[in-house]
Amino acid sequence: MKTTLLRLVRGLWRRSYVRWRRSIQVRVVTTTLLLSTIVAVVLGVFLMQQITTALLESRGESAVQQLNEGLGILKRTPGDPVAERVARELAARSGPSGRYEVYLRDTREVTNGGLPTNDLDPASIPAQLTEEINREPGAKVWIGKLVRQYHEDEAALIAGARDGPYELYYLFPLQQEQRTLVFVQRTMVGVGVALVLLLAAIASVVTRQIVIPVRLAAQSAERLAAGQLDERMKVRGEDDLARLGRSFNDMATTLQEKISELEGLSQVQRQFVSDVSHELRTPLTTMKIAADMLYENREDFQAMVARSAELLQSQMERFESLLADLLEISRHDAGAATLDAESVDVRELVLTAVDDVQDVAERRGTKIVLKLPGEACMAEVDRRRIARVLRNLLFNAVEHGEGKDIVVTVAADRDAVALAVRDHGTGLKAGEAQMVFDRFWRADPSRARTIGGTGLGLSISREDAQLHGGWLQAWGEPGVGSQFRLSLPRTAGAELRGSPLPLVPADVELNRADLADLADLEGAE
What DSSP string describes 146-164?
A: E-BSSS--EEEEEEEEEET
Rounded Cα gap, residues 248 and 235, in angstroms? 10
Rounded average pLDDT over 404-432:
89
DSSP assignment of 343-364 equals EEEHHHHHHHHHHHHHHHHHHT
Domain that holds residue 108: 53-178
Does the predicted model carry a pTM greater than 0.85?
no
Rounded Cα gap, residues 525 and 462, in angstroms? 12
Q: Is the pLDDT assigned to residue 332 strictly greater than 50? A: yes
**Cα dihedral 65, 66, 71, 74 in deg (nearest 10):** 150
> Is 213 part of a structural domain of the chain?
yes
Choose one of 301, 332, 363: the last residue of a domain.
Answer: 332
> Is 226 part of a structural domain of the chain?
no
- Indicate if 345 and 438 belong to the same structural domain: yes
**Contact by Cβ (8 Å): 20, 30:** yes
The strands making up 166-173's β-sheet, listed across from edge to edge, are: 115-116, 101-106, 166-173, 154-163, 140-146
- Indicate if 378 and 502 belong to the same structural domain: yes
Q: Is the pLDDT assigned to residue 220 strictly greater than 70? A: yes
> Is 231 part of a structural domain of the chain?
no
* Predicted pLDDT of residue 504: 87
Rounded Cα gap, residues 208 and 217, in angstroms? 14
Rounded Cα gap, residues 427 and 196, in angstroms? 64
Residue 213 binned pLDDT confidence (cut-offs 50, 70, 90): confident
Residue type, 409: T
Give just the sign of the alpha carbon dihedral 293, 297, 301, 307: positive
* Predicted pLDDT of residue 484: 93
Q: Is the pLDDT assigned to residue 343 strictly greater than 80? A: yes
> Is 488 part of a structural domain of the chain?
yes
Choose one of 302, 332, 362: the last residue of a domain.
Answer: 332
* Predicted pLDDT of residue 511: 47
**Contact by Cβ (8 Å): 280, 330:** no
Tens-digit pLDDT profile for residues 468-513: 889 899 998 888 889 999 999 988 888 888 899 998 888 775 544 4
**How far is the CA of 47 from the CAs of 44, 50, 170, 494, in angstroms?**
5, 5, 29, 71
The pLDDT > 70 percentage for the chain reads 80
Q: For 438, list phi and psi in degrees, rounded to 5.
A: -70, 150
* Predicted pLDDT of residue 147: 67
- Indicate if 145 and 207 belong to the same structural domain: no
- Indicate if 308 and 405 belong to the same structural domain: no
The whole-chain average pLDDT of the chain stands at 78
- Indicate if 171 and 198 belong to the same structural domain: no
Q: Which residues pair with 160 in a beta bridge?
A: 140, 169
* Predicted pLDDT of residue 512: 42
- The CATH number of whichever domain residue 499 belongs to comes to 3.30.565.10
> Is 184 part of a structural domain of the chain?
no
- Indicate if 497 and 517 belong to the same structural domain: yes
Rounded average pLDDT over 333-347:
79
**Contact by Cβ (8 Å): 420, 409:** yes
443 DSSP assignment: S
Rounded Cα gap, residues 231 and 221, in angstroms? 8
- Indicate if 322 and 346 belong to the same structural domain: no
Tens-digit pLDDT profile for residues 145-204: 666 655 566 778 888 888 777 777 888 888 888 888 888 888 888 888 888 888 888 888
* Predicted pLDDT of residue 274: 66
- Indicate if 510 and 371 belong to the same structural domain: yes
> Is 411 part of a structural domain of the chain?
yes
- Indicate if 395 and 438 belong to the same structural domain: yes
Tens-digit pLDDT profile for residues 19-75: 767 677 777 888 888 888 888 889 888 988 888 888 888 888 888 887 787 777 777
- Indicate if 34 and 68 belong to the same structural domain: no
- Give the highest mean pLDDT range of 106-110, 119-123, 408-412: 408-412
> Is 304 part of a structural domain of the chain?
yes
Choose one of 306, 332, 358: the last residue of a domain.
Answer: 332
Give just the sign of the alpha carbon dihedral 358, 364, 365, 371: negative
Residue 7 binned pLDDT confidence (cut-offs 50, 70, 90): confident
Residue 524 binned pLDDT confidence (cut-offs 50, 70, 90): very low
- The CATH number of whichever domain residue 274 belongs to comes to 1.10.287.130
- Indicate if 323 and 389 belong to the same structural domain: no
> Is 227 part of a structural domain of the chain?
no
300 DSSP assignment: G
Number of domains the chain is built from: 4
- Indicate if 424 and 486 belong to the same structural domain: yes
**Contact by Cβ (8 Å): 78, 181:** no
* Predicted pLDDT of residue 411: 92
